[in-house]
Homo-oligomer: A and B are copies of this chain.
Amino acid sequence: MDTIFYNGTIRTLDKAFPEVSAIAVKDGVVIAVGSDEEMLAMATENTKKVDLKGKFALPGFADSHMHLLIYGTYTQRIDMTNAKTYAEIKEWCKADAPKAREEGRWILGSCFNQDYWTDTNKMPDRHDLDEIADDVPIFLERACGHICLLNTKGLQVCGLWDEKEETTKETLDFGPDGRPNGYIRENTRLVPKGIIENFSIEEKKNMIATACQNALKQGIVQVHTDDFNVIGDNDVEENLQVFRELDEEVRLPIRICQQSRFLTAAGLQEFIDRGYKAGSMYTKHFKFGPIKIMADGSLGARSAAMRQDYANAPGERGLLLIPDDEIRAIYEIAHKNGFDVVNHCIGDAALEQALDAIENAIKKYPRADWRHGIVHCQIMDEALQDRFAKMNVLAYVQPVFVKADSLVVDDAVGSELAKQSYNWRRYIDLGVHMSGGSDCPVEPFDILPNIYYAVTRMGFSGKPWYPENAVTLDEAVRMFTVEPAYASYDEATRGTLGVGKYCDMVVLDKNIYEEPIEELLNTSVLMTIVDGEIAYAK
């Protein structure tokens, strides 16, 4: 035996012997589970014995939707997640200005959310940002990732200053003077990002390696991540080189299920023509997962595509980012080539477009065991949920989103629809395979808080938001273990800790099944084990 983990409270999530104290591993595979005595009896002189010191362990956590590379880029920026006021944002940017001016670079900020500020909830425009600096370009990205703010210098540097409302209205906002007001949305975001995020392979490798190390600290053993064509165009081969070299250099300690993003059917076809196969392993830890597309935007930016007007903005219904015929083509190409599609859908119009496209593809090119999924699955009435469940489409949800969304959803769609939406309880009761993710860096990829929000539905104000839509603790734990394994077709080899599974495990300082639920927010990861090896220890 290579390693025996003993003296723990190991919750296997396996029906056979759900709780054991010890586990024996060889070549990364669980060979036996049982009592300390039974397992230690299997030790030879070369066996590594790891004393879990009575601590609680679970199958390693997985994040079913996040953005590893974008997270990496965010480590280069001012993190505005915890800003409580706009005044703070202003101060941080001002402090960075001299250095930015000296280095000839932008002032960059991430993860602001004006809804959380206590001094103002107004989205700053270019005039506000010009007060920070008018000679250095400024770029601030909202937490949702769907809207960015630029100052006048920034607009000029990236060539957007002379855009006209007639041609770019949908993704660029204009002031009364006919000039861009500094708000840029969706695809137009790629213009400044293309300039700012021009990283070398080595820079990318370092960012991903750091991201993986940070993920391990949260007990994460697998991420479903969306890294192609997000911080640059046509970067698939370059990013594959990044992951390949990292894995060869033993710097890719967690499993990657790549949600390969493509913006067009032609781009996807070209990728498939290069011979990449759905579900195949590219390197030891890198697997080609589904194709990732984005059907709409966000509620906060009011770019989520709705079937009815926004309750707080009559006449507005958001935006379908991909035309019907294009999205249909993407699903057809993916499906007939054995790929699934995971599709970012916040609004019900986007969801309906996705289900129509799935239905078309599966009818046209029938194949068994497809696992198309919808990322976010937010605004959805019960009838649409029924259709969703009946089609066996997978849900990829982000429990921590309730914190922020509790502030905006009722206003945006009205309470009648809001209370039906994000109804994870009902999704599970309908038999939907529902995995959990963080959408990091939209939210931090801390899994335990995500579990907390799945169970409590705690809103920003400290009041639970439609708590009747919550799931149980065990269901929430499975959303971050068993279900992501299912979503990556790994259910037979991962997600639980039974005999014959890979030994991916997380050790916590508390038994979360026995503590009050609030303790999830005070629970620490002590150890993260991948392939039976300790990849992180506190």
Instruction: Please give, as numbers and ranges, the residues of chain B lying within 8 Å of A367 by CB-CB distance.
Output: 27, 29
Contact A14 B500 (CB under 8 A): no
Instruction: Please give, as numbers and ranges, the residues of chain B lying within 8 Å of A34 by CB-CB distance.
Output: 390
Say which residue of B1, B42, B369, B502 sits within 8 Å of A368 (CB atoms).
B502
Contact A363 B26 (CB under 8 A): yes
> What does the 1/0 interface line of A128-156 toward B look like (CB < 8 Å)?
00000000000000000000000000000
Q: Which residue of A29, A362, A368, A430 has the most chain B CB atoms within 10 A of its CB atom?
A: A368
Contact B369 A28 (CB under 8 A): no
Instruction: Please give, as numbers and ranges, the residues of chain B lying within 8 Å of A391 by CB-CB distance.
Output: 32, 499
Contact (A26, B366) CB under 8 Å given A15-B431, A430-B16, A431-B17: yes
Residue A389 is within 8 A (CB to CB) of chain B in the complex: yes
Contact B16 A493 (CB under 8 A): no
Beyond the given pairs A16-B432, A26-B366, A29-B366, 10 more chain A to chain B contacts, judged by CB atoms under 8 angstroms and listed by A's residue number, are A1-B363, A16-B389, A16-B390, A17-B390, A26-B363, A29-B362, A31-B363, A32-B391, A368-B501, A369-B493
Instruction: Please give, as numbers and ranges, the residues of chain B lying within 8 Å of A27 by CB-CB distance.
Output: 366-367
- Report the bound CA distance from A366 to B500 in whole Å: 8
Number of interface residues of A (CB under 8 A): 39
Can you list 13 residue pairs at the A/B interface with Cβ under 8 Å? Answer: A1-B363, A16-B392, A16-B431, A17-B389, A17-B431, A18-B431, A29-B366, A29-B368, A32-B390, A369-B493, A369-B500, A390-B499, A392-B499
Contact A492 B368 (CB under 8 A): yes
Ordered nearest first, which 5 A-B pairs have the shortest CB separation? A15-B431, A16-B431, A27-B366, A29-B366, A368-B493
Residue A498 is within 8 A (CB to CB) of chain B in the complex: yes
Instruction: Please give, as numbers and ranges, the residues of chain B lying within 8 Å of A492 by CB-CB distance.
Output: 368-369, 489
Residue A33 is within 8 A (CB to CB) of chain B in the complex: yes
State the Cβ distance, A342 to closest chain B Cβ, in Å: 16
Residue A51 is within 8 A (CB to CB) of chain B in the complex: no
Instruction: Please give, as numbers and ranges, the residues of chain B lying within 8 Å of A500 by CB-CB distance.
Output: 362, 368-371, 392
- Report the bound CA distance from A15 to B392 in whole Å: 10
Residue A359 is within 8 A (CB to CB) of chain B in the complex: yes
Restricting to A323-359, which residues have a CB under 8 Å from any CB of B? Answer: 359
Restricting to A288-307, which residues have a CB under 8 Å from any CB of B? Answer: none
In the assembly, how many copies of this chain are there? Answer: 2
Instruction: Please give, as numbers and ranges, the residues of chain B lying within 8 Å of A430 by CB-CB distance.
Output: 15-17
> What does the 1/0 interface line of A354-387 toward B look like (CB < 8 Å)?
0000010011001111110000000000000000
Instruction: Please give, as numbers and ranges, the residues of chain B lying within 8 Å of A17 by CB-CB distance.
Output: 389-390, 430-431
Residue of B nearest to A17 (CB): B390
Q: Which residue of A28, A33, A391, A498 has the most chain B CB atoms within 10 A of its CB atom?
A: A391
Instruction: Please give, as numbers and ranges, the residues of chain B lying within 8 Å of A363 by CB-CB distance.
Output: 1, 26, 31, 42
Contact (A33, B366) CB under 8 Å given A15-B431, A432-B16: no
Residue of B nearest to A363 (CB): B31
- Report the bound CA distance from A430 to B370 in whole Å: 31
Instruction: Please give, as numbers and ranges, the residues of chain B lying within 8 Å of A33 by CB-CB distance.
Output: 390
- Report the bound CA distance from A492 to B389 in whole Å: 16
> What does the 1/0 interface line of A32-47 toward B look like (CB < 8 Å)?
1110000000100000
State the Cβ distance, A132 to closest chain B Cβ, in Å: 52
Residue of B nearest to A501 (CB): B368
Restricting to A1-24, which residues have a CB under 8 Å from any CB of B? Answer: 1, 14-18
State the Cβ distance, A294 to closest chain B Cβ, in Å: 24
Contact A498 B32 (CB under 8 A): no
Residue of B nearest to A430 (CB): B16
Instruction: Please give, as numbers and ranges, the residues of chain B lying within 8 Å of A26 by CB-CB distance.
Output: 363, 366
State the Cβ distance, A297 to closest chain B Cβ, in Å: 29
State the Cβ distance, A258 to closest chain B Cβ, in Å: 21
Instruction: Please give, as numbers and ranges, the residues of chain B lying within 8 Å of A366 by CB-CB distance.
Output: 26-29, 31
Residue of B nearest to A390 (CB): B17
Q: Which residue of A1, A14, A16, A389 has the most chain B CB atoms within 10 A of its CB atom?
A: A16
Instruction: Please give, as numbers and ranges, the residues of chain B lying within 8 Å of A28 by CB-CB distance.
Output: 366
Instruction: Please give, as numbers and ranges, the residues of chain B lying within 8 Å of A359 by CB-CB distance.
Output: 31-32
- Report the bound CA distance from A16 to B395 in whole Å: 13
Residue of B nearest to A392 (CB): B499
State the Cβ distance, A425 to closest chain B Cβ, in Å: 14
Residue of B nearest to A372 (CB): B500
Instruction: Please give, as numbers and ranges, the residues of chain B lying within 8 Å of A16 by CB-CB distance.
Output: 389-390, 392, 430-432
Residue of B nearest to A25 (CB): B366
- Report the bound CA distance from A362 to B493 in whole Å: 14
> What does the 1/0 interface line of A488-519 toward B look like (CB < 8 Å)?
01001100001111100000000000000000
Instruction: Please give, as numbers and ranges, the residues of chain B lying within 8 Å of A392 by CB-CB distance.
Output: 14, 16, 498-500
- Report the bound CA distance from A288 to B32 in whole Å: 27
Instruction: Please give, as numbers and ranges, the residues of chain B lying within 8 Å of A29 by CB-CB distance.
Output: 362, 366-368
Residue of B nearest to A498 (CB): B392
Instruction: Please give, as numbers and ranges, the residues of chain B lying within 8 Å of A42 by CB-CB distance.
Output: 363
